[in-house]
Amino acid sequence: MCITQLSVTLGLLGRSGCSSVGCVHHLFSRRCSRKRAFQIAKSFLPILEWLPNYRVKEWLISDIISGLSTGLVATLQGPFPVVSLMVGSVVLSMAPDEHFLIEGSNATGTNGTGALIDTESRDAQRVLIASTLTFLVGILQVIFGVLQIGFIVRYLADPLVGGFTTAAAFQVLVSQLKIVLNVSTKNYNGVLSIIYTLVETFEKIGTTNIADLIAGLLTIFVCMVVKEINDRFKHKIPIPIPIEVIVTIVATGISYAADLEKKYNAGIVKSIPRGFLPPEPPNVSLFSQMIAASFSIAIVAYAIAVSVGKVYATKYDYAIDGNQEFIAFGFSNIFSGAFSCFVATTALSRTAVQESTGGKTQVAGIISAGIVLISIVALGKLLEPLQKSVLAAVVIANLKGMFMQVFDVPRLWRQNKVDAMIWVFTCIASIILGLDLGLLAGLLFGLLTVVLRVQFPSWGGFGNIPGTDIYKKVKDYKNVIEPEGVKILKFSSPIFYANIDGLKSSLKSTVGFDAVKVYNKRLKALRKIQKLIKKGKLKATKNGIISEPGINNEAFETDEEPEDNQDLQVPTKEVEIQVDWNSELPVKVNIPKVPIHSLILDFGAVTFLDIVAVRSIKTIIKEFERIDVRVYFASYQDNLISQLERGAFFDDTVRKDIFFLTVHDAVLYIRNQMTYSDNQDPIFEKISLMQESKEPIEFSEASQPDDELDVQEEAMRRLAS
């Protein structure tokens, strides 16, 4: 009997955990809203507070009625597929059938189906593994609670949970399918195991037991029809028809009466262990093998329980303390782990029964647990003739809702493609890698999408809507006007190591030129002019450069020609030259035009900068200043200034006067500056050539590899030095 089936059976017998966690939440958390500064001891053990205040007259009757109802539901309908399946996959991988072959039995080669299996020692080992796992999950949950990291549940995004649960449903379906068919397969585990199982099931479909198949199909059909009726007429019928219970009882009766096992070789439940196992210490040596799976299970079980708890927290207006929940589940699992129990979580259906039948406190939970205890002792024996395929069929009939989630995907794709990708990725990863690794892969994928969405933001050149102080993207709006000589770039994301290149390229694309390239070309032109002045072919005056006639027929320089450093001569006379970079030069160097004097970076959406970004932005300012474009910042967040200060952003040349509250303020300031400046056109550059000197002229030094120019690469270059 596979462990999923075992857990289903355990579930039917009500062993699969506390049925009243919703109520536990209720009482656990009421504390929070009443007294914040309660003693630590009581805060970790809320029972010390609520039990002495128990109002016997008001609550006891309700609690008893509610406890009885919940206990009955828990007895009759217990399976909780996702966590059970995750536990089951661990148990299967650590104690497969092959470990328990009886030596000398009829082992028919590799497929192992003919070999006898020592089911007793196998099941004992499996129970030990499951309870050890429960114990470890408990320890992890307590640790999570003490470290106050209940918030990690937040990373289980909605689409991730959708994909994960659909994959879980698929895994459950495959594991139950072979039971419905009564086909035996190898116990695969690890990557792709569910696919192998499915393939082998279909390969062996010829060995299907017809009696089991018919019983299973009938059960699925009946359950689905009745559930549909329950759903359609939920306002007209007082309680839903408990079809699972009815089917189970009827099928047990038929199987017993017709003796299906003997006549048709049907697979029946056969032996349900009765009574209770003595407490057994967990096998600590198994911990290292199950740590990854425990991690996933601890978080999933907790997340499910908290999500249910929050429904009632909202309804009854109290707050849930996520870390206290972790601690509560942790101790509960540590305790159960020592008594051969199963990982606990919450079932919405049972919690709803307890609440709607008037349960007030955990006393109802204790009573419902008592009912389950009695059932385990008394009822187990009666279910022994039940076909396993009927139980499996009941599980399959309940998977419909989970599979229906697949139809969410097209809608999700229309609404948000990234979220749809998270859904699909998590689903496929969970099917291929198994539920625990698949969940981890989905989590990492989800976080990566956040990084990518932050890394590749929207950006664009902005312009003014005439008559307002509002600036909008030039490409998206008609009649938006860019101020003359000013470019405005909005880069809508935090700036950090992974998108600093993106900022630079969006900058180039917005202003239309590359500041470093322009500077290098200008240097080259200046050197040529110097040479020509020296040769007497050009005259430099205060009004600019006057070319002698007949020297403009120099060959046009191509971009590809390497620069001829050797020919650079030191000039011999001091001369002041004014160069108008936007007019035609006497030397034919192809210098990109710089049609702007100011650049405004709208930092409205830049919520943080890392150290690489701070240094790179400083470099960008200096690169633009070198070609007479002044850089301003607008709409910055207040905390940005302190981040820049700490990052040694400000110095003598980069001061705080380049920061403006709004883009419009910056534009007004620039307009003002241009109007009242001393009439000197800033695109004219005055340079002074130091002459009769042996030192290379000042500006040529800047063409040396300048480490500052890309701080990000500097670290890598250290490696190469």
| Region 445-464 residues binding a copy of itself, contact defined as CB under 8 A | 446-448, 450-451, 453-454, 457-458
Eight-state DSSP code of residue 184: -
Binding residue for a copy of itself, selected from 256, 403, 445, 496, defined by CB under 8 A: 496
- Confirm or reject binding of residue 418 to a copy of itself (CB under 8 A): yes
Q: At its nearest, how many Å lie between a copy of itself and the CB of residue 309?
A: 9
What's the rounded Cα separation, in Å, for the pair 660 and 667?
A: 9
Site for a copy of itself in 104-163 (CB under 8 A): 151, 154-162
Kindly state the smallest distance separating residue 618's Cβ from a copy of itself, in Å.
12
239 binds a copy of itself (CB under 8 A): no
Q: How far is the CB of 567 from a copy of itself (least distance, A)?
A: 12
Tokens 């390229």 locate to: 505
Residues 580-639 that bind a copy of itself (CB under 8 A): 604-605, 607-608, 610-612, 614, 635, 637-639
Interacting positions 63-102 with a copy of itself (CB under 8 A)? 80, 82
According to DSSP, the β-strands at 544-547 and 538-541 are antiparallel
Pick 92 or 304: Cβ nearer a copy of itself: 304
- The binder of a copy of itself chosen from 203, 576, 701, 714 (CB under 8 A): 714
Asked if 353 interacts with a copy of itself (CB under 8 A), we say: no
Per-residue contact track with a copy of itself, 12 to 41, x per CB under 8 A? ------------------x--xx-------
437 and 293 Cβ atoms separated by less than 8 Å: no
Which among 435, 408, 444, 403 is positioned nearest to 423, based on CA atoms? 408
CB 649 within 8 A of CB 617: yes
Q: What minimum distance in Å lies between the beta carbon of 434 and a copy of itself?
A: 17
Q: Binding residue for a copy of itself (CB under 8 A) from 113, 189, 357, 492?
A: 492
The answer to whether 357 contacts a copy of itself (rule: CB under 8 A) is no
| Tokens 């910042």, located at residue | 633
Q: Please identify which residue in 7, 219, 255, 499 interacts with a copy of itself, judged by CB under 8 A.
A: 499
- The number of beta carbons lying within 10 Å of the beta carbon of residue 332 is 22
Question: Least Å distance between CB 28 and a copy of itself?
Answer: 14
Quote the least distance from Cβ 448 to a copy of itself, whole Å: 7
Within residues 267-286, the interface with a copy of itself by CB under 8 A covers none
Rule CB under 8 A: say whether 646 interacts with a copy of itself. yes
Question: Which helix (DSSP H) or strand (DSSP E) does residue 489 occupy?
Answer: strand 486-491
Q: Which residue has the tokens 């892969």?
A: 441
In this structure, the dihedral spanned by the alpha carbons of residues 304, 308, 314 and 317, taken in order and rounded to 10 degrees, is -100
Nearest residue (CB) to a copy of itself, 217 versus 245: 245
Does the protein bind a copy of itself through residue 678 (CB under 8 A)? no
Report the distance separating Cα 507 and Cα 461, nearest Å: 9
Spatial neighbors of 390 by CB under 8 A, at least 6 apart, are: 215, 216, 219, 247, 248, 251
Cβ distance 203 to 210 under 8 Å? no
Of 239 and 719, the one with the shorter C-beta distance to a copy of itself is 719
Strands 486-491 and 630-634: unpaired
Of 348, 257, 670, whose CA–CA distance to 487 is shortest? Answer: 670
Supply the minimum distance, in Å, between the C-beta of residue 225 and a copy of itself.
Answer: 20
Phi/psi region, residue 628 (left: phi>0; alpha: psi -120 to 50; beta: rest), is left
Q: Is 476 in the site for a copy of itself (CB under 8 A)?
A: yes
Q: How far apart are CB 408 and a copy of itself at their closest, in Å? A: 10
* CA–CA gap between residue 362 and residue 23 (Å, rounded): 6
Number of residues that bind a copy of itself (CB under 8 A): 113
**Using alpha carbons only, what angle is made at residue 186 by residues 181 and 192, rounded to the nearest 5 degrees?**
100
Contact between 473 and a copy of itself (CB under 8 A)? Answer: yes
Using CB under 8 A as the binding rule, the residues of this chain from 175 to 194 that contact a copy of itself are none
Asked if 516 touches a copy of itself (CB under 8 A), the answer is yes
The number of angstroms, rounded, from the C-alpha of 228 to the middle of its chain's C-alpha atoms is 35
Residues 279-318 that bind a copy of itself (CB under 8 A): 300, 303-308, 310-312, 314-317
3 state SS of 593: coil
